[in-house]
Amino acid sequence: MRFTDSHCHLDFDEFSASLTELLINCAASGIQRIIVPATEPDNWLKVLGLCAQNNSGQAQRPRLLPCLGIHPWFLSELSQQHLEQLTAFTRQHSNKLVAIGETGIDGVIAEKEDNLSKQIAFFEYQLQLAGEWQLPVIVHHRKSHHKIIPLLKQHKSPYGGIIHAFSGSYQEAKTYLDLGFKLGIGGTITYDRAVKTINTVKRLPLSALVLETDAPSMPLSGFQGQSNSPLRLINVFECLTRIRQEPAEVIARQIEKNINEVFRLPD
Ligand SMILES: [Zn+2]
């Protein structure tokens, strides 16, 4: 079976000491591709460089696919000029990018930093940019489905994207599917207390789901206190096979198809 981690911050310092070894181990576990979202202007070049360097003729490593974007946690120092810079970077690197992200709205940060309107402005800009470049978007949410859904409806795009680290109700999930999005399934489902999300994941069509780790964030149940790793994608997958009725091979195959569909990659 082959897998894709649809969300991993490989550019973060946690990975720098032993990245090559980690990637070789990922490939040996069947992880054939890793999508690397960017979080702020300071790491765009690092994400692009890391992906380019790894992909240049390195067998036995996953293919790394870069995204560019501005995460809602990192807005305090940023202004309109950084959005324009994002447009310029996107134009310059459009042949390599697989998505815009990660972007989105974080309700907890909005309250703490009183910056909801800035978050909305940055999110809307990135939704429009993705549409112009015919790219999907990687969407961060936290206590914000009610803010994100109307904006996705308003900026409806045929290129859809991924609701990263999805947690929520069946109804919320259905709304995202109807808007052309797939749902990133990660460590959340490994926690027994995530009853609502687990029940949602059980009922959705397989065509709705992609796998992710969000490493180094979001450690799985049983691995708390450690930095998360893309290798844990296999544990997320195993957890998913216990939640779903279909045979593991069927789940794995469909989920890779879903990735190809979102990112327009060849089967
Ligand atoms: Zn992330």
Q: What is the pLDDT of residues 4-48, one digit of tens each?
A: 999 999 999 999 999 999 999 999 999 999 999 999 999 999 999
- Using alpha carbons only, how large is the chain's radius of gyration in Å? 17
**How remote is the CA of residue 9 from the centroid of ligand 1, in Å?**
6
Report the CATH superfamily, name and number, of domain 3-263: Metal-dependent hydrolases (3.20.20.140)
Q: In whole angstroms, what is the distance from residue 91 CA to residue 79 CA?
A: 19
Of 173-182, 195-204, 258-267, which range is least confident? Answer: 258-267
**How remote is the CA of residue 115 from the centroid of ligand 1, in Å?**
20
Q: Is 151 helix (H, G, I), strand (E, B) or coil?
A: helix
Does the annotation list 145 as a binding residue? no
Instruction: Give the pLDDT score at 35.
Output: 98
Contact 65, 35 (CB under 8 A): yes
**How remote is the CA of residue 241 from the centroid of ligand 1, in Å?**
24
Does the annotation list 77 as a binding residue? no
Instruction: Give the pLDDT score at 56.
Output: 83
Q: For residue 179, give every residue at least 6 positions away whose Cβ sits within 8 Å of its Cβ, in sequence order, or none.
A: 149, 152, 153, 156, 160
Which tokens go with 249?
């091979």
Residues of the chain with pLDDT > 70, as a percent, come to 99
Instruction: Give the pLDDT score at 57.
Output: 66
Which tokens go with 108?
């907890």
**266 or 154: which leads in pLDDT:** 154
**Is residue 266 pLDDT above 90, yes or no?**
no
Q: Which residues of 25-46 are buried (b: 16+ CB within 10 A; e: fewer)?
A: ebbebebbbbbbbbbebebbeb
Does the annotation list 140 as a binding residue? yes
Instruction: Give the pLDDT score at 102.
Output: 97
Which tokens go with 190?
């490994």
Q: In whole angstroms, what is the distance from residue 143 CA to residue 112 CA?
A: 13
By the CB criterion, residues less than 5 angstroms from ion ligand 1 are 214
Distances (CA, A) of 82 to 70, 114, 263: 9, 20, 25
Does the annotation list 102 as a binding residue? yes
Does the annotation list 9 as a binding residue? yes
Does the annotation list 82 as a binding residue? no
